[in-house]
Structure 1
Amino acid sequence: MYRQVLDPVSDSLGLSAIFAALPLVILFLLLGVLRITAWVSALIALVASVVIATVVYPMPVGQAVLSATLGAAFGFFPILWIVINAIWIYNMTVDTGHFDVLRRSFSRVSDDQRIQAIIIAFCFGALMEALGGFGTPVAISSVMLLALGFTPLRAAALALVANTAPVAFGALAVPITTLSTVTGLPVHDLGSMVGRQTPILAVIVPVVLVGIVDGWRGVRQTWLPAVVCGLAFAVAQYVTSNYISVPLTDIIASLFSAGAVVVLLRVWHPVTSGLVVPAVRPVAGGSVDNPDPAFQKRVAHPDSRKEELRSYAPYLIIIVIFIVAQIHPILHALDTVTRSFNWPGLHIENAAGKPSTVSVFKFNWLTAAGSLMFISGLVTAPVLGVSPIRALRAYGRTLRQLVWAIITVMAVLALAYVMNASGQTATLGNWMAGAGGAFAILSPILGWLGVAVTGSDTSSNSLFGALQVAAGTKAGLNTTLMAAANSSGGVLGKMISPQNLAIAAGAVGLVGKEGDIFRRVFGWSLAFLAGMCLLVYLQSTPVLDWMVP
């Protein structure tokens, strides 16, 4: 049995925090500054975390290694299990030509890449976040953007930046319900508070997406649909989370915002200035400057209604299966085979001497989002006319395509689990919690750090939720606000999480270029985080305390 010690260096949290932060500093320096391949960076950082856990912290080597194996297992299931099956479905649509049909159909809705980025990366990505969570929206929306003619780097950056505002309510509000469990605060209060923070972010993100696609010129020319989309999502997210249903928040917000943009496009059209008709071949490396005449011809002469319906079928199937799986009797039946168990040989107590939940592995092999995605693929194959042998070959090709992304994600989650199990992450959190009243500014940063390490807002809430409440109580701050700030700040760490970077890189064929993607989105992550810190601080003062329920 290993009992966590949070101040192993001279009984000082501050000195211990310096060592605790080293694995993360090493990871981001290797990835973002030295441009070393993500899987190599992750493995080096993992070794560093094990060394610190066993040399600086009093963690036995065997316990450190076992916690790393648990993290690697969690990295594969449920996280990579989602990504593998999502990319498998995409590969089948490419094989049959239905992704070409889909992109031609989208081009008729709007042939402007700036509008397509809003609809796919933000609206459709938010729907995927609401239904599946984890890496689902990044994996699916990035390949959709790629097929529509976006360059791989831009497609990945758009998918990651868009995956912010919806994350706090992702996967039917699992992050919020988890936060409620660890803090003891009501789900409705937490959902209402988050619903008064992330909608402000939602107003800004679509405008940023337009800027990523076409710079300031794009913002000037297409600010209207970007603002309409953001406002529609923000209003729906606020109203749903506060007055209707916390679990349904992102489903309603994503559909409402997409509908608002489509309605607007019936009466308004953007100034083009040449950034239209993204007629390029998916994956083949085309660009906006290299139009595909055959594609343009097919846009002018549409596919049959039947083929268009089949091209949308995989995503309709995904939505239907995910929604059906959430119906309570069905969910209960599927969940009967779920098994939770302590990882063999791993015995951890937290600093208070209570058994840690870090060592528990949940094998929900039927209710997991990846399993539902796999079932969606099995249904999709015959709809697209894909034979079992052809589907199996596509699966094998998908695994080969993602092999380095698989290694990266498993290494990053192994790193996260070693840091969590040894107490390194808790050291950082407790050190930040000693800031007193200024903790209102640091609270979102703590959530951001948790998601940057684990890649999951749910995991960050589980890790730091109770700490946020304890720090808030000690500093005289509203506990609901502090807990919600962990979730709202956490969403901004999603785009720089090595796990999500690996997923995006694997999806668009940029394996080994995760550092390039990281540099593309890191500035946005910090800018959004600064805004969230300011908002939470003002909500803790008389200036905006009326926003706290």
Structure 2
Amino acid sequence: MNIEEDFTYRCLTADGAACADSCESLAGCQDCGCVVLSNDAGGDWGDVMDVIFCLLPIIFLIYATIKPSPMSTTVSLPLAACLMFLVRVMYLGSDPLLTASSVILGLHEAWTPLSIMAGAITLFESMEATYCLPYMMREMKALTAGHPVAELMLIFCFAYMVEGASGFGTPVALGAPMLVSQGHPAFESVVVLLIMNTYATVWGAVGTPIWFGFGSLPQVSEDEYLDISRKAAVAMGVSAYISLPLVLTILVPFKAVRKNIVFIIASLTTCLGPSIGIAFVSYEFPSLLGGMIGCAGTAFLIKCKFGLHDFEHGDNGGRNLEDIGSVSENSLVRKYQKSASSLSDVPESGAELTSTRNNKTAKQMGIPETNGEDEEVYLTSDDSDQKEEVRQNTGTAGVVDAGAASMNTDSLHDTLEHHLGPRKSYADGYIKETIIRTSPIWLVVLILIVTRLEQIGLKKFLTKVTPNFTIHFGTYGTFRLSASLVFQLRDILTFPGISWKYELLYVPFLIPFVLVSLLNMYMYRKDLAHGPAHVARTVADRLKNPAIALLGALVLVQLVIRVGAEAPATILGTVVSDWFQEAFVIISPLLGVLGSFFSGSTTVSNLTFGSIQLIAAESIGTSVTTMLALQAVGASAGNGVCLNNIIAACAVVGLNVGEGKILLQTYKFVFLSTTIATIVMLAFYFRFG
């Protein structure tokens, strides 16, 4: 097939990189496995309208999310995806086969975040069912003496470490439930963890956002990866020292933060100091090693009470420092709370259970005597007068369920002691009990580290795509399943390079979340509050709405980034960089934020906008590595406003709230981080190279 003379084409590989300057025929490109696309990107109405139309779905999504009566993301995200589809086929004139295959790819890509969410919920539900999570929270309370600032800094270091081991939004999925279980409110806990997760994602899991995110740029060498890491580390480090104390005020009053600022700075230093130092010699391990050292260092500081001042009652806004919360409706804590609540209210309908302690009153009401012992008497909804008289004369609130009856006279502390037993001394086996009870968390972290470090070698076995068997599903695509359980759908709708891959054993779902959950339930099978089937039903119920929202989100992402010069993301970046010239430095991190906002990934943001940042740096004659570092910092900060992460975090902690409310809290800190990072880059690296 000959190409028309007045039309030029560019040859692209699967990842969107040019494999030749031009092609003379489609047949000539079959050997290199690429696809030929027109260089004539954009619509017919000029650059301004190109930018307006490409931004239109994103603007609609932001407005629908943050308006006074926000639209649910289960509606707004699919609508935004539909709008982007129309923009591509009706204005940009994209290949309909490419556009349709991008939609199918997005629907498949949703499996990754959904499975991670399912795994995280399974882990915490199983820990609640086996009383491991209440035990962990009790011991953390004992270590921190219920000091919220100490709790927050310890969980910050933990999330920092998990980011270095896994990525995929796992730190928020693990950290937010831990904060809630410490007695902090769910909404604020999600906000704080989303912001905390923005400081370590520059490197992500073993440096993936750098070596893979910028890996498609042939001009960037190994040494320049290290230069990007170094510059991003300094910028994010300065940002963390300035902004993190302000983040803590979301959960702890400013007065308490100010009193404990020495401890906060010291704790940050134990984590960020090693992280920045490692970033100068490696771009793979700053998050992982920095977080591990930070956890140990912060625990030591707490034990020594270094810089920690006693937390007075007035410092916590009325919160009981001994509170323990829960992310599960089926937990011991929730059962206690329901029991306590029922002691002050008498429902108006249903068959209720009343404990009658006053036989004289019972006799007067025609209720059989109890021979001096407490008896359980059922009263129906028609006995409302009797219920009220019983409540008034017996001094009880009247109504509890049978499972909670044993809790109604105890405090939460007493209830925990009853189920967990009193805290042991070192001589009585405290160390052994703690290791076993906390094993779900440290096993998860250990398995993540072991399966992700290239040096250990397990990763290549978990992600092998060969050998495999193949099934051809006609024009839908070619399905492959490897011996390592890597699912692939290649050349979707016969479009070359549009392919899906799901690494079942590598994505943190079966390994480690489900595996550790099952092991935990087996170990404590005699003490299970509810079984695996109940946990599975809870997980499925919790994922119904997030699944719809994430399907819409991932379709939108693929429509934005696919593929090459005609992708809306490329059009936006190219046009905007050409408009702003030198002032593009100010826009650079915001472009990174935008990439993470719609994609949910620092790596994808770097893949999407890395080439644009490089072109902009070369065109204005400034340091390429500094511009790419600014892109990485912006992409990292963008995780705080990423709708995927917000949806996932809310699902894991069981929070039913409009995502726009969370976005309105996190965006301020994201903007602060990018502003600080830009100032650092301008003051040092753009000026001195």
2: CA distance between counterparts of 1:315 and 1:430?
44
Superposition pairs for residues 107-126 of structure 1, below 5 Å?
107-110=141-144, 111-120=146-155, 122-126=156-160
1:447 partnered with 2:620: no
TM-score, structure 1 as length reference: 0.89
1:320 partnered with 2:446: yes
Superposition pairs for residues 464-479 of structure 1, below 5 Å?
464-479=609-624
Deviations 1:391-428 (A, max 9, x none): 24312321211221122122111111111126111111
Aligned to 1:64: 99
Amino acid at match of 1:112: H
Q: Displacement of 1:216 after TM fit?
A: 1.8
Deviations 1:282-341 (A, max 9, x none): 246779xx9x93227858942673543333111111122122213443222222234655
Aligned to 2:548: 407
8 Å Cα contact 1:114/1:209 also seen in 2 = no
Percent identity, aligned pairs only, is 18
8 Å Cα contact 2:120/2:652 also seen in 1 = no
Aligned residues: 528
2: CA distance between counterparts of 1:439 and 1:226?
35
Aligned to 2:460: 332
8 Å Cα contact 1:317/1:380 also seen in 2 = no
8 Å Cα contact 2:184/2:325 also seen in 1 = no
1:428 partnered with 2:466: no
2: CA distance between counterparts of 1:407 and 1:446?
27
CA 1:316–1:4 in structure 2 vs 1: closer, same or farther (change >3 Å)?
farther
Superposition pairs for residues 95-494 of structure 1, below 5 Å?
95-110=129-144, 111-120=146-155, 122-184=156-218, 185=220, 186=222, 187-243=225-281, 245-265=282-302, 266-268=304-306, 269-274=308-313, 275=316, 277-283=321-327, 293-295=411-413, 301-302=422-423, 305=430, 306-325=432-451, 326=453, 327-336=455-464, 337=484, 338=486, 342-345=490-493, 347=495, 359-373=498-512, 374-385=514-525, 390-421=531-562, 423-434=567-578, 435-494=580-639
**SS of alignment partner, residue 363 of structure 1:** strand
Q: Which runs of 5+ in 2 are unaligned?
A: 1-34, 342-409, 465-483
8 Å Cα contact 1:477/1:540 also seen in 2 = no
* Larger fraction in helix: 1
Which is further off, 108-117 or 188-197?
188-197
CA 1:69–1:341 in structure 2 vs 1: closer, same or farther (change >3 Å)?
closer
CA 1:500–1:205 in structure 2 vs 1: closer, same or farther (change >3 Å)?
same
8 Å Cα contact 1:50/1:64 also seen in 2 = yes
CA 1:5–1:117 in structure 2 vs 1: closer, same or farther (change >3 Å)?
farther
Q: Displacement of 1:345 after TM fit?
A: 1.0
Amino acid at match of 1:116: E
1:45 partnered with 2:186: no
**SS of alignment partner, residue 511 of structure 2:** helix
Which is further off, 187-196 or 423-432?
187-196
2: CA distance between counterparts of 1:321 and 1:102?
19
2: CA distance between counterparts of 1:27 and 1:278?
41
Q: Which runs of 5+ in 1 are unaligned?
A: 349-356
2: CA distance between counterparts of 1:13 and 1:378?
55
Amino acid at match of 2:590: I
2: CA distance between counterparts of 1:293 and 1:147?
17
CA 1:314–1:370 in structure 2 vs 1: closer, same or farther (change >3 Å)?
same
Amino acid at match of 2:182: L
Amino acid at match of 2:288: I
Q: Displacement of 1:201 after TM fit?
A: 2.5
8 Å Cα contact 1:6/1:423 also seen in 2 = no
Amino acid at match of 2:463: D
1: CA distance between counterparts of 2:76 and 2:263?
40
CA 1:233–1:431 in structure 2 vs 1: closer, same or farther (change >3 Å)?
farther
Q: Displacement of 1:254 after TM fit?
A: 0.8
CA 1:3–1:215 in structure 2 vs 1: closer, same or farther (change >3 Å)?
farther
8 Å Cα contact 1:2/1:59 also seen in 2 = no
**SS of alignment partner, residue 372 of structure 1:** coil
CA 1:535–1:377 in structure 2 vs 1: closer, same or farther (change >3 Å)?
same
8 Å Cα contact 1:7/1:13 also seen in 2 = no
8 Å Cα contact 1:68/1:414 also seen in 2 = yes
1: CA distance between counterparts of 2:659 and 2:437?
30
1:22 partnered with 2:140: no
CA 1:257–1:398 in structure 2 vs 1: closer, same or farther (change >3 Å)?
same
Aligned to 1:352: none
Amino acid at match of 2:413: F
Deviations 1:360-411 (A, max 9, x none): 3233222223342333334333234388x92243123212112211221221
Task: Detail structure 1 runs of 4+ shifted over 6 Å in the superposition.
Answer: 284-287
Which is further off, 298-307 or 160-169?
298-307
Q: Displacement of 1:214 after TM fit?
A: 1.9
**SS of alignment partner, residue 280 of structure 2:** helix
CA 1:480–1:215 in structure 2 vs 1: closer, same or farther (change >3 Å)?
same
Which is further off, 192-201 or 31-40?
192-201
Amino acid at match of 1:429: G
8 Å Cα contact 1:54/1:61 also seen in 2 = yes
**SS of alignment partner, residue 42 of structure 2:** coil
1:518 partnered with 2:646: no
Which is further off, 333-342 or 229-238?
333-342
Amino acid at match of 2:546: A
CA 1:302–1:205 in structure 2 vs 1: closer, same or farther (change >3 Å)?
farther
CA 1:119–1:398 in structure 2 vs 1: closer, same or farther (change >3 Å)?
same
CA 1:73–1:218 in structure 2 vs 1: closer, same or farther (change >3 Å)?
farther
CA 1:69–1:295 in structure 2 vs 1: closer, same or farther (change >3 Å)?
farther
Q: Displacement of 1:101 after TM fit?
A: 0.7
Which is further off, 501-510 or 64-73?
64-73
Amino acid at match of 1:335: T
1: CA distance between counterparts of 2:117 and 2:217?
31
2: CA distance between counterparts of 1:168 and 1:344?
32
**SS of alignment partner, residue 168 of structure 1:** coil
8 Å Cα contact 1:441/1:536 also seen in 2 = no
Aligned to 2:354: none
**SS of alignment partner, residue 36 of structure 1:** coil
